[in-house]
Amino acid sequence: MALTLAKNQSISLEKTAGGGLSKITLGLGWDPEKTGFFGKLMGNSGDIDLDASCILFDEGFKPVDLVWFRQLKSRDGSIQHSGDNRTGEGDGDDESIAVDLGRLPATVKHLVFTVNSFTGQTFQKVENAYCRIVDSGANKELARFNLSEKGGHTGIVMASLTRGPAGWDFKAIGKTTNGRTADDLVNLAVEAVRA
């Protein structure tokens, strides 16, 4: 059974998976706010275009690479983005980022996962947002972080993976911001992981 994490709570992925963890997927899901008949009549389709991204950092928190809708694969090929979902419609993960932990360069110590609204729509119009970590080899959900905060923000530093001596630790962050692209969130991502 997957663990549901609260803000700033961390877990060891290796212990949670029971060892042998080599490939994980971060899934992100959301639903557009229900607009009703009059909302649709006024041209509000209810679609929400959120973008999941992964920022790769070295030990000193210097950005090494960025995987997002403009670059769907890391330069070394260890991280692959599923592609841009522009509506949030449907069940399950709307976007996902697959990480081959064994192929990540040894210099990469931190992965920070962000989500932002490129079009500038705020999270006031987002419902049921979550991120989850899945052991891709066993197809088993390890942890989930539900985002219940609505508001005028356009971005969130969702979670991080940090490489330690005993393996990877997953931390639920949930820090809100107003960045519209992953580039806008780099400095905040560093602050959130160090906190």
Q: What is the pLDDT of residues 57-68, one digit of tens each?
A: 999 999 999 999
Provide the pLDDT for residue 133. 92
DSSP line for 3-29: EEEPTT-EEEHHHHHTS---EEEEEEE
Residue type for position 140: K
pTM as predicted: 0.86
Residue range 2-17: mean pLDDT, rounded: 86
Residue range 106-115: mean pLDDT, rounded: 94
Provide the pLDDT for residue 41. 46
Domain that holds residue 8: 3-194
Measuring CA to CA, which residue among 115, 136, 110 is closest to residue 68? 115
Provide the pLDDT for residue 54. 95
Beta bridge partners of 54: 67, 113
Domain count, the chain: 1
DSSP line for 106-174: TT--EEEEEEEETT---GGGEEEEEEEEEETTTTEEEEEEEE---SS-SEEEEEEEEEETTEEEEEEEE
Look up residue 24 and give its two tokens: 């994980």
**Residue 189: in which H helix or E strand, if any?**
helix 186-194
Runs of H (alpha helix) within 35-179? 36-41
Provide the pLDDT for residue 177. 87
Asked if residue 115 lies in contact with residue 177, where contact means CB atoms within 8 angstroms, the answer is no
The more confidently predicted of residues 13 and 37 is 13
Residue type for position 8: N
Backbone angles phi, psi at 35, to 5 degrees: -100, -25
Q: Which CATH number goes with the domain that contains 163?
A: 2.60.60.30
Q: What is the pLDDT of residues 139-159, one digit of tens each?
A: 999 999 988 778 899 888 889
The more confidently predicted of residues 11 and 41 is 11
